[in-house]
Amino acid sequence: MVAKPAPQTPDIARYAVSLAYDAGIPRSALQLVTGGGDVGAALTGDLRIAGVVFTGSVPTAKAIARNLLADDGRPLVPLIAETGGLNAMFVDSTALSEQVVRDVVISGFQSAGQRCSALRLLLLQEEIAQHTIEMLVGAMRELVVGDPANPANDIGPVIDQAAYDKLMAYRAQNAARIIHEVPVPATGHFVPPTLMRLDSLDQLNTEWFGPIVHVATWSAGKLEETIAAANAKGFGLTMGLHSRIARVSETVETCARVGNLYINRSMIGAVVGSQPFGGEGLSGTGPKAGGPNYLHRFCAERTTSVDTTSAGGNASLLSLED
C-alpha cells in the first residue's frame, strides 16, 4: 500500500503511518509518499497500482478515474472515492430549537467547516425560521475564533491561503446576504464563521468548503418537494433532520438520496464500524468506509462449477432427499 496525503498535510500523515508501523504493519507493506497533484497522477498512472481509495474533491476524483483508464492495456482498477456534498439539514416546526442550534454550530462550524460531511444548507420550516435564526445568531456571538492549539478557542483557520482566498471572495460577492459573521483575528487564514441567507435553493449549487452555512426556508406540506430539490443537486453525502414526529423521519429516510442521514443529532463525527460513512452521486462511489464491504472491493471473487455427471459420477448422489 502507498499512502499519499494532501500536499498540505504531510506531517500528520507521517505520524499516522508511524502508528501503523508501531502496531506491527511491516514497512514493506506500507509506504508514505508526499507531494502534490503531479505525484498523485504518477501514482495512479503506474500500472502496478491495483486499487485506489481517495478522499477529496469531485474534480480530482474524476481526474483519478480518467487516469486509471488512460492505458488501454491496463486492467480495470477498483476505485473508492469519497468526495463532498451540499449536505442539507431540514428542521420542522416540532424540533427542539436549542438542540437544533447546538447541532448547526457543531455541524457547520467545527473544524472550520472543513469536513466533507459538514452542514452547508440549513432548511427551516417557515413558521420557526425567524426564531431559530435569532437563537443561532446568539450562539454564534459566543464563538471564539483563534489558534486551535488554545483550548479556549472554538474554531481555527482553514487549511491554506488558496482556500482562504476562495472563501473570502465568495463572501465578498454575497456580502448583502450575510445574516451574521463571527469576528476573527487580523492575521492568519481565519475565515469568519458565516450565516448566509438564500432566497431559494437555486442559489447554491457548489460546495463551499469552509465555515459558511446557507439558510433557506420551506413551507409546511412541501417537505418531500424540498427534499427532491436538494436531491436534484446531484450530491449525496449527508443529510440532517430535526423533528419530533416519527412519520416525518420515515418520509425523509424514504426520499433522501444520501449515504448518511442524521436525525436529531449533528451531521459530523461518524464512528468507524458503527456508522459506516460514504456517499453517492457526486459525493462518492461506495462501499462505505468503516463498513463490512469495504475491503471486499479489492478482492477478486472466483467461483468453480463442476458437472460431476460428465465425469461418470453417481447422479443419484445429487438428489439424496429423493
The last residue of a domain, from among 263, 285, 307: 263
* Residue 243 domain-assigned (yes or no): yes
Judge if 115 and 248 occupy the same domain: yes
Judge if 47 and 148 occupy the same domain: no
- Domain interval for residue 233: 88-263
Judge if 79 and 98 occupy the same domain: no
How crowded is the C-beta side of 271, counted as CA atoms within 13 Å? Answer: 2
In the chain, beta strands by DSSP E: 2-3, 31-32, 52-55, 79-82, 88-91, 121-125, 178-181, 194-197, 212-218, 235-236, 238-242, 260-263, 280-281
Catalytic residue numbers? 82, 116
pLDDT at residue 73, as a whole number: 85
Residues 207 and 120: beta-carbon distance below 8 Å: yes
Could you give phi then psi for residue 297, rounded to 5 degrees?
-60, -25
CATH number at residue 182: 3.40.309.10
Which comes out higher in pLDDT, residue 144 or 292?
A: 144
CATH number at residue 33: 3.40.605.10
* Residue 67 domain-assigned (yes or no): yes
Judge if 242 and 138 occupy the same domain: yes
* Residue 318 domain-assigned (yes or no): no
Q: How confident is the model at residue 314 (pLDDT cuts 50, 70, 90)?
A: low
* Residue 247 domain-assigned (yes or no): yes
Judge if 97 and 232 occupy the same domain: yes
Burial 222-236 (b: 16+ CB within 10 A, else e): ebeebbebbbebebb
Q: In 10 A of CB 1, how many CB atoms? A: 11
Mean pLDDT of the 108-114 span: 97
Judge if 245 and 102 occupy the same domain: yes
Judge if 71 and 191 occupy the same domain: no
The three cell numbers of residue 39 are 505525484
Mean pLDDT of the 26-30 span: 97
* Residue 270 domain-assigned (yes or no): no
Judge if 77 and 202 occupy the same domain: no
Burial 149-187 (b: 16+ CB within 10 A, else e): eeeeebbbbbbeeebbeebeebbeebeebebbbbebeee
pLDDT in tens, 210-246: 999 999 999 999 999 999 999 999 999 999 999 999 9
Judge if 135 and 218 occupy the same domain: yes
The last residue of a domain, from among 217, 236, 263: 263
Beta strands 178-181; 52-55: pairing state: unpaired
pLDDT in tens, 30-88: 999 999 999 999 999 999 999 999 999 999 999 999 999 988 889 999 999 999 999 99
* Residue 76 domain-assigned (yes or no): yes
Judge if 62 and 123 occupy the same domain: no
pLDDT in tens, 297-308: 988 889 999 887
Domain count, the chain: 2
Lowest mean pLDDT among 14-23, 174-183, 268-277: 268-277
* Residue 272 domain-assigned (yes or no): no
* Residue 148 domain-assigned (yes or no): yes
pLDDT at residue 93, as a whole number: 97
Judge if 190 and 258 occupy the same domain: yes
Q: In 10 A of CB 92, how many CB atoms? A: 20
The three cell numbers of residue 12 are 500528520
Judge if 65 and 101 occupy the same domain: no
